[in-house]
Amino acid sequence: MKFPGQRKSKHYFPVDRRDPLITQNPQLTELGQAYVVGIDQTLVDIEAHVDEAFLNRYGLSKGHSVVISDDVAERVYEELKANNMVVSEFAGGTVGNTMHNYSVLADSHSILLGVMSQEIRIGSYAYRYLCNTSSRVNLDYLQPVNGPVGRCFTFISECGERSFGINAGKMDHLDVAHIPEEVIKGASALVITAYLVRGADGTPMKEAAMAAVRYAREANVPVVLTLGTRFVIDENPQWWRDFISENVTVLAMNEDEGEALTGFADPLMAADKALDWADMVLCTAGPIGLYMASYTDEESKRETTHTLLPGQIPEFNMYEFSRPMARASCRTPMRIYSHISPYMGGPEKIKNTNGAGDGALSALLHDMVANAYHRMNVPNSAKHTSDFLTYSSLAQVCKYANRVSYEVLAQSSPRLSRGLPEKEDSLEEVYWER
């Protein structure tokens, strides 16, 4: 595993070369493995330029999102391909994006659970999904289905207006039999999205997702939930609060989803309120930047050397150099917060906002799994005097998540095509130099 930034002195864990002290210990000659498991609705994002006649022909509403049947989706796709109207085809799904980005950043394997078309033609959308997914993402556990995976069509009219056609295909047909209990219990984290728990009527996805969460909780594996969209939360906010309180360790959201869940429009206050139910919160807030909140033990708190920030919680980043912990692991729990503005002010030109939050979450997961990997292989290290959730401080994780989010915004794909530049491996030294 590649660690999230080079560390010096006591924070440095050698992964590129053999350490003499580690080599002498026979128990550590074979490093243990740490990995993350994610469950997703497998779908492909397809973007195409069309005219109004095309939209009318297929009953699509200009500027709106319409659910289309499998038959209509097939006919739409065939016409788009036959006339070279497709601009891009990207593997999608918030958890799929996160698993891919995690594996690119960590240069380590992750496991994706979901469905995949049993018959795949070269050049088809299912083929594109496989091509756009890192080879480090283990797809061996995908459930084969007779039919298409989900498809999200974005139709761009001549005037620039965007219309959407959504076809679920078989993406909600993952069943409990294809949830590998032992794999989940051996993971360092389980990642799910709110879409799974909602589940379409008559499909087994919700039951499968809940079984995975149950396995994770039985083995004390952190459950990471990304909310996905505020419309899902708006349907029943109290149900989600109860679900998070009972099952979730880490919550990822944007400011709109945070408002739907907590009632607070201010992202700092939304993150603070979410700590009533979760142990760590990641909240992206567009041009405002990124907030993180968590718990640490009073004995483990570390004051920041950065400028203290104003907000509805005065000087809220006072202890952002502390490492996050689960509230139950703290003798005397205290809340800690961090914030960072967009890296370099944000990209000069944002090509695509899709996937920025997924990128931030993948960085957080990288740091969490790196911590588990280090604890597994160097259990007596001073890094593990307490049961921390991350390898780095809250401020450093916030910085890393922000940097990855920038990289996604600066490209046209919601998935990273490469890791961060090597010259930026030491985020401490060069983060703000340019």
For 10-45, the pLDDT digits (tens) are: 333 444 444 444 444 444 434 458 999 999 999 888
What are 288's two structure tokens?
């405002």
Is 76 marked as binding a ligand?
Answer: no
Is 286 marked as binding a ligand?
Answer: yes
Is 97 marked as binding a ligand?
Answer: yes
Is 198 marked as binding a ligand?
Answer: yes
- Residue 66 carries which side chain, given as an amino acid letter? V
DSSP state of 342: P
Interstrand relation of 137-138 and 110-113 (parallel, antiparallel or unpaired): parallel
pTM score over 0.95 = no
Is 176 marked as binding a ligand?
Answer: no
pLDDT below 50 — which residues of the chain?
6-31, 425, 432-434
- Whether the CB-CB separation of 115 and 145 falls below 8 Å is answered with yes
Block residue for tokens 């973007």: 47
- Rounded distance, CA 387 to CA 323, Å? 10
Interstrand relation of 162-167 and 65-67 (parallel, antiparallel or unpaired): parallel
Is 40 marked as binding a ligand?
Answer: yes
- Rounded distance, CA 13 to CA 7, Å? 7
Is 311 marked as binding a ligand?
Answer: no
Burial 331-347 (b: 16+ CB within 10 A, else e): eebbebbbbbebbeebe
- Rounded distance, CA 200 to CA 117, Å? 19
Is 72 marked as binding a ligand?
Answer: no
Is 43 marked as binding a ligand?
Answer: yes
- Whether the CB-CB separation of 55 and 156 falls below 8 Å is answered with no
Report helix, strand and coil shares of the chain as percent, to nearest 5. 40, 20, 40
Is 285 marked as binding a ligand?
Answer: yes
Is 248 marked as binding a ligand?
Answer: no
pLDDT of residue 88: 81
pLDDT of residue 416: 85
Is 93 marked as binding a ligand?
Answer: yes
What confidence tens digit (pLDDT) does each residue in 164-222 have?
888 888 999 999 999 999 999 999 999 999 988 876 667 899 999 999 999 999 999 99
Helix, strand or coil for residue 350?
coil
pLDDT of residue 412: 67
Length of the chain: 434
